Structure 1
Amino acid sequence: MSVLNSHEPPPPPYSFVGSSRLSVRHSPPPYHHSPLSSQEWLSNNPPSGAPQNSRPPRLPQLPLHHSQNLSQNESANLALRQRQQEVRPCPNYIVIPIMGLTGSGKSTFISLLADGPGDSIGLEGCTNNIEIYPYQINQATRVVLVDIPSFNNASRSDVTTLSSIANFLCQIYSNDIKLGGIVYLHDIIARRMDSHALHSLHMFKKLCGAEGLSNAVMITNMWEILPTFEEGVSRERELRDRYWSGILGHGGMMMRHDGSRSSAKEIIKTCLRYNQHLIAPLDIQREMVTHGQQLSETAAGRELYSAIRKKRQRYASKLTTLREELDKTLRRKDFEYGQELEEMKAHLYRKIGLVEESGRILRGDIQRLSGEVHARREGGEKSKKKKYLGRTALGIGVATILGLTTGVFL
């Protein structure tokens, strides 16, 4: 726990970069009590002064004895219909994605502000689904906080994660839903930027693009558990000067979060004020919606494919070294150690197989896609810049929860 000098004045509820003050973290409940109740949030009649939100009436609940006798498919359909009513952003909502590594404090940050539990977008049972949470700032401002899944060092799950993020961002862009900025959380107690952190940061930059980075608000988190405040300031300086300089140079902001609800509120309000007249589409939105590119053709897709290719090269290099060591071991007739090396080799082969599968999934069947485009042109069909929803389970899930009619086919 960082301890401030006794002669310093009490810290403010939050602080900007460069300030020597820092707040002590509070311990809030999982969700705060909002002046807007869940009934008002779901109602067709919003409170006086609130933006109108078109929504079909909430489906009636089935009696308990009947729901217990539902088949598996009926239960799934019922759950889907009920989930559709929970959070459905409309063009008068403002969407703020929250990104960062696993463990950076995204869920805790959102829980300080969210008006209730969120809804998951994606395939059932998938661990990297997007979660959306309502946050009513005041009667005139409705925000949707979006918990974006983390990237995991060019693994197979990263392909699904990127597809989920791209689909979501492109659908809100296609439906004229405002993006109020994009928040990126970083754990200040991390002693260095390891490969996972660098990969996550690179993917964030590629998703946003140079123009979109002007919407970015970079947050250093977990100051309250630092050994010393000076240590955090030193790490913060390194982030600003070495890793985040390009983001800040394109107009992004950098702030501290002390763990309190007042700090989280101020970050979101500052984000909205700062981006009020500066909202620019992210690169992934412009590439896929405006220019009609496939995911593998976007800057983020190429970055992920490059990371996957480098990972495969590292595994292949390790495999070559392992084979040489195995040959030496067999010549020495050290069969026990040779068995261990054989197991290590099999493990590397499995890893290489997974990496290659990730690359194939990301690239897609380019020949098939090219053939479809050629066939459409021969048939006289005009090329469309926007592609419509309904062809993938992921796309259907996103549109169902958001109440959208168009989207992007990944």
Structure 2
Amino acid sequence: MMMKNTPPTGEAVIALMGPTGTGKSTFINLLTNDENIRIGHDLESQTFDVSTSRYVDREAGLAVTFVDTPGFDDSRDGVTDTDILRKIADFLQAEWVLFVFVLLDIDIKRYRGGRKLNGIIYLHRISDPRMGGMAKKNLRMFKELCGDNSLVNVLIVTTNWNLVDEKEGSARQAALAQGAFKPFVDSGVRLFRHDKGLESTRLIISELMDQEPVALKIQEELDAGRSLGETSAGAVIIEELQELQKKHEEEMESLRKEIEDAARANDEELRLELAEERRKLEETMARAVEDRKVLEMKRITQPVAESSMGVEFATFSKMTELEDTVRTSSAESFALVDGGHSEERHRRRAGSGSPVREFLHELADIGGDLSKAGGERLGKAGVIGAIAALWLLVPLLAAKKVMAGH
């Protein structure tokens, strides 16, 4: 039978969340065959940045953008839960897109919530005999990120069924439904098995394709003007940081006494070893202080100034990390638009109301396309190069507009 080759009529954005090693990247790669997706075969984290992959099924007439998120148990040195929460929040809020909307005086209220999701899939290894501390923390963070209102779009999916026999796996899933997952199940969240490869992958996403897109709780909290630490998810991290601070202070006092004892005993080798431990602990404590600052920083302020052209500007936190935000927001917002969008762009520019507004619309379109192309081919370096190229193009485009007006 000949396959249809029609443009997709259904668009969905589906995020995958859960601990490291639960198979998020594997799940996505079954459909997309994306060679850029790194798949781990152990519990070492492969995903720190929030990454996206697009799947188009022209026969079924649907398209899905998958959002692969890091777990709150990253195994790499220097990566903290604060880093991961900020990455997820940046992606959901799409700060660069918001900045462009304000710059162009588009109705910002329609976009304040950032990206909305048709589906959120939480993955859990059925091969784990019990839910350990890291798994419990990830589930708690997931609950605080999503809130209650978005649970209608949530599925919990168990993986690694090939590592357990049917009877044992079924017993574990039943226990989870009455235990750790019970609050979700009681709220209507359904549990699915990912045990048949591509077949179960397609079944799972089909359950989410027609769902109305929703904003997560953290998006609503940030939209209300809260800092990251004032959100429900951020509060969990602050609570942990406070507990760690107390523990670190006790460890530091203990090390101080041990170093003094080693010095009195003229044990230079032990003293140097303890001094190195203290140095590492000081670095850890300093990083925790930086994390608190990030969590307490207000992310978005209200419009603060109006230029001579009547253009409002908004101030965003962490703008020094523009390349991260552009890669996730600019590229992916354009990736969701299928072929044939140039006509829509032309219509929007023509109806913008003024030459300045039309020029800014065109600039935003070009910037988005450059960022998308650069990010797809060269990663972050490509995005930075695209930004530099855009700045070089500004005077040329402006000159072109001036000449066209004469």
TM bin (shorter chain): 0.5 to 0.7
* Structure 2 CA distance for aligned equivalents of residues 355 and 329 of structure 1: 28
2:14 to 93, 96, 117: 96
The whole-number CA distance in structure 2 between the counterparts of 1:315 and 1:390 is 31
Q: Distance in 2 between matches of 1:265 and 1:50?
A: 16
Question: Are 2:141 and 1:223 equivalent residues in the alignment?
Answer: no
C-alpha offsets along residues 177-215 of structure 1, whole Å, 9 cap, x if unaligned?
A: 652210111122223333322222222111101222332
TM-score (norm 1): 0.63
> Paired residue for 1:164?
87
Alignment partner of 1:281 out of 215, 218, 221: 215
- The 8 Å contact of residues 101 and 150 in structure 1, kept in 2 or not, is answered as yes
**Distance change >3 Å, CA 241–CA 321, structure 1 → 2:** farther
What percentage of residue pairs aligned between the two structures are identical?
Answer: 27
Q: Are residue 152 (structure 1) and residue 89 (structure 2) matched?
A: no
Contact 1:130–1:165 at 8 Å: present in 2 too? yes
Cα distance in 2 for partners of 1:301, 1:376 equals 30
Please tell me the residue identity of whatever aligns with 2:8: A
Q: Give the Cα–Cα distance (whole angstroms) in 1 for the partners of residues 242 and 74 of structure 2.
A: 12
Aligned to 1:212: 150
Letter in 2 for 1:307: E
Deviation at 1:139, TM superposition (A): 4.2
What amino acid maps onto 1:50 in structure 2?
A: P
- Flag structure 1 segments of 5+ consecutive residues without an equivalent: 1-34, 37-46, 52-91, 121-125
> Match of 1:251?
188
Q: What SS does the aligned partner of 1:243 have?
A: coil
Shift of 1:352: 1.4
Tell me how large the CA RMSD over aligned residues is.
Answer: 4.0
- Evaluate the alpha carbon distance shift between residue 344 and residue 299 of structure 1 in structure 2; reply closer, same or farther with a 3 A threshold: same
Matches within 5 A, 1:9-408: 47-48=5-6, 50-51=8-9, 93-114=11-32, 116-117=34-35, 128-137=48-57, 138-152=59-73, 156-171=79-94, 174=111, 179-226=117-164, 228-258=165-195, 260-272=197-209, 276=211, 279-289=213-223, 291-330=224-263, 334-364=267-297, 392-403=322-333
| Higher helix fraction (1 or 2) | 2
Q: For residues 214-255 of structure 1, give each alpha carbon's deviation from its aligned partner in whole angstroms, at most 9, with x where no partner exists.
A: 3221111101112x4444334334432332222222222211
CA contact under 8 A between 1:99 and 1:148: conserved in structure 2?
yes
Q: Is the 8 A contact 2:194 2:201 kept in 1?
A: yes
Letter in 1 for 2:146: C
The answer on whether the counterparts of 1:104 and 1:221 sit within 8 Å (CA) in structure 2 is: yes
Contact 2:144 2:233 in 1 (8 A): yes
Residues 375 and 354 of structure 1: CA distance in aligned 2, closer, same or farther (over 3 Å): same
After TM superposition, give the deviation of residue 283 of structure 1 in Å. Answer: 0.4
For 1:326 and 1:394, locate their aligned partners in 2 and report how far apart those are by CA, in whole Å.
43
Cα 1:250–1:358, aligned 2, differ >3 Å: closer, same or farther?
A: same
> How far did 1:395 drift?
2.5
* Change in 2 beyond 3 A, CA 1:98/1:195: same
Q: Structure 2 length as normaliser, TM-score?
A: 0.63
Shift of 1:292: 3.6
Per the TM alignment, residue 325 of structure 1 is displaced from its structure 2 partner at its CA by: 4.1
1:152, 1:158 within 8 Å by CA — same for their partners in 2?
yes
- Distance in 2, matches of 1:188 and 1:327, equals 50
Change over 3 Å in CA distance of 1:353–1:324 after alignment to 2: same
Distance 1:177 1:400 in 2: 12
- What per-residue deviation string (whole Å, max 9, x for no partner) do you get for residues 252-300 of structure 1? 2211111511111111112336xx36x54210222223x2433333222
In structure 1, what residue type is equivalent to 2:216?
L
C-alpha separation in 1, matches of 2:218 and 2:305: 25
User: CA contact under 8 A between 2:303 and 2:314: conserved in structure 1?
Assistant: no
Aligned equivalents of 2:318, 2:268: Cα separation in 1:
57
The answer for unaligned runs of 5 or more in structure 2 is: 39-45, 98-109, 335-363, 366-406
- Per-residue deviation, residues 374-409 of structure 1 (Å, max 9, x unmatched): 9779xxx9x999979987333222232124679xxx
Contact 1:182/1:216 (8 A) holds in 2: yes
Contact map agreement 2:152 2:189 (CA 8 A) in 1? yes
Q: Secondary structure at the match of 1:93?
A: strand
Q: Deviations over 1:324-379 (max 9, x none)?
A: 44445555555544443333222222221222222222223x6xx89x769779xx
- Sort the Cα spacing of 1:309 and 1:153 in 2 relative to 1 into closer, same or farther, 3 A: farther
Say if 1:268 and 1:48 are closer, same or farther in 2 by CA, change over 3 A.
closer
Equivalent residues of 1:118, 1:133 under 8 A apart: no
